[in-house]
């Protein structure tokens, strides 16, 4: 289905004035005919056929004016209206203005009563008929935001994580949006979920060895936590590929929440803490060895004391204990000899 822009002049104002005039003339004709009917009945004379014709024409004009009112369409900026005529697609009103179209054209939008919230999934149908009538069947062409609920997905290592995304989207082809899918808003929501699962399962939560996230056969350091921009770009492209047939354009996709699932969050926190402790200890030991080496070299160069290998080993051991210990050293004063 290809979108067609409804080509018609904006005759809304002239036709509105004509409709008002028809209503006024019809009411005046009905009142005038009624008065003449009443006078003829009081006088006992036959009703003039002219008054009957005036009355019938007035009633017909009222019916015609009511039908014409349904052809008046107001289009606001960044709105569109898809028009059908007896089951055939006639075109789309896209340019803002006040139009008069064929009164028998009907607006078509199966997603008119579906709302996409900023912080929830697709909401249920509106219960108020007046609210639904106010929104009408117009299609918004503005950029809108879809923020689905958090999903629990396994990453490429099988770790369950919770993730959610915010997708900025808009309608670019109204014909495809209303005719190619049953409900383009629900369709978008489902495709966002599917695309998110498709991309997340390729990446680990954090950097892991021997993992290829680019598909080139070479291990890399890509991860959901460290490569959020790249992951968001791939999610956007994947969603766009899925919703192009629905006439939708994905402007941007961003990860709004990312965390380990509660059942493994504590274990993963302990793992991170252990890794941090190991890294810290390694740094402390490297520094302590360097300090011991500098101390021995200084003692030897300045000839403060001559130490054999056994005493050097004892001194190294004592210095490492002091420098690597978690508590302050407790000095022991030796009042005897070195031996």
Which of 205, 228, 260 marks a domain boundary?
260
Are residues 255 and 199 located together in one domain of the fold? Answer: yes
Q: What is the pLDDT of residue 175?
A: 92
Q: What is the pLDDT of residue 325?
A: 67
Mean pLDDT, consecutive 10-residue segments, the chain of 339 residues? 79 90 92 83 75 88 92 91 91 90 90 65 42 64 88 88 92 92 91 92 85 80 87 93 94 91 75 74 80 78 73 74 66 57
In CATH, what number is assigned to the domain containing residue 173? 3.30.479.30
Secondary structure string (H, E, C) spanning the chain: CCCCECCCCCCHHHHHHHHHHHHHHHHHHHHHHHHHHHHHHHHCCCCCHHHHHHHHHHHHHHHHHHHHHCCEEEECCCEEEEEEECCEEEEEECCCEEEECCCCCEECCCCCCCCECCCCCECCCCCCHHHHHHHCCCEECCCEEEECCCEEEECCCCCEEEEEEEEEEEECCHHHHHHCCCCHHHHHHHHHHHHHHHHHCCCCCCCCCCCCCCCCCCCCCCCCCCCHHHHHHHHHHHHHHHHHHHCEEEEEEEEEEEEECHHHHHHHHHHHHHHHHHHHHHHHHHHHHHHHHHHHHHHHHHCCCCCCHHHHHHHHHHHHHHHHCCCCCCCCCCCCCCC
What b/e string do you get for 32-66 counting C-beta neighbours within 10 Å, with b at 16 or more? ebeebeeeeeeeeeeeeeebeebbeebeebbeebe
State how far the Cα of 280 lies from the Cα of 182, in Å rounded to an integer.
58
The total of structural domains in the chain comes to: 3
Q: What is the pLDDT of residue 123?
A: 45
Are residues 290 and 316 located together in one domain of the fold? Answer: yes
| Domain annotation covers residue 213 | yes
| Domain annotation covers residue 308 | yes
Q: Residue 254's beta-bridge partner residues?
A: 166
Are residues 251 and 152 located together in one domain of the fold? Answer: yes
Q: What is the pLDDT of residue 129?
A: 42
| Domain annotation covers residue 112 | no
| Domain annotation covers residue 338 | no
Are residues 227 and 311 located together in one domain of the fold? Answer: no
Domain hosting 94: range is 12-107
140, 171 Cβ separation under 8 angstroms? yes
| Domain annotation covers residue 113 | no
Q: What is the pLDDT of residue 134?
A: 38
Q: What is the pLDDT of residue 251?
A: 94
Q: What is the pLDDT of residue 4?
A: 87
Q: What is the pLDDT of residue 174?
A: 93
Q: What is the pLDDT of residue 333?
A: 58
Q: What is the pLDDT of residue 280?
A: 76
| Domain annotation covers residue 331 | no
Q: What is the pLDDT of residue 132?
A: 44
- pTM of the predicted model as reported, rounded to 2 decimal places: 0.71
Which of 210, 236, 260 marks a domain boundary?
260
Q: What is the pLDDT of residue 124?
A: 41
């Amino acid at each position: 289905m290809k979108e067609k822009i409804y080509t018609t002049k904006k005759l809304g104002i002239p036709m509105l004035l004509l409709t008002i005039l028809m209503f006024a003339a019809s009411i005046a004709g009905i009142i005038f005919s009624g008065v003449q009917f009443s006078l003829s009945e009081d006088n006992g004379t036959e009703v003039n056929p002219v008054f009957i014709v005036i009355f019938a024409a007035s009633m017909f004009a009222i019916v015609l004016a009511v039908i014409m009112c349904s052809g008046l369409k107001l289009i606001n900026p960044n709105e569109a209206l898809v028009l059908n005529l007896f089951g055939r697609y006639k075109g789309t009103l896209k340019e803002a203005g006040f139009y008069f179209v064929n009164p028998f054209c009907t607006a078509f939008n199966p997603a008119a009563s579906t709302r996409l919230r900023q912080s929830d999934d697709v909401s249920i149908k509106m219960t108020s008929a007046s609210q639904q009538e106010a929104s009408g069947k117009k299609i918004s062409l503005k950029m809108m935001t879809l923020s689905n609920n958090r999903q629990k997905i396994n990453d490429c290592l099988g770790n369950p994580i919770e993730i959610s995304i915010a997708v900025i989207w808009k309608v670019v082809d109204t014909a495809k949006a209303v005719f190619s899918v049953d409900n383009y808003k629900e369709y978008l929501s489902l495709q966002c979920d599917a695309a998110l699962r498709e991309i997340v399962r390729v990446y680990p939560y954090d950097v892991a060895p021997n993992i290829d996230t680019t598909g080139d056969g070479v291990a890399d350091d890509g991860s959901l936590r460290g490569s959020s921009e790249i992951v968001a770009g791939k999610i956007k492209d994947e969603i766009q590929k899925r919703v192009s047939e629905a006439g939708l354009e994905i402007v941007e996709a961003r990860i709004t929440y990312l965390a380990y699932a509660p059942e493994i969050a504590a274990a993963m926190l302990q793992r991170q803490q252990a890794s941090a402790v190991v890294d810290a200890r390694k740094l402390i030991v490297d520094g302590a060895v360097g300090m011991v080496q500098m101390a021995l070299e200084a003692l030897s160069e300045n000839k403060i004391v001559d130490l054999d290998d056994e005493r050097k080993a004892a001194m190294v051991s004592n210095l490492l204990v002091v420098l690597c210990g978690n508590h302050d050293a407790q000095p022991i004063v030796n009042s005897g000899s070195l031996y």
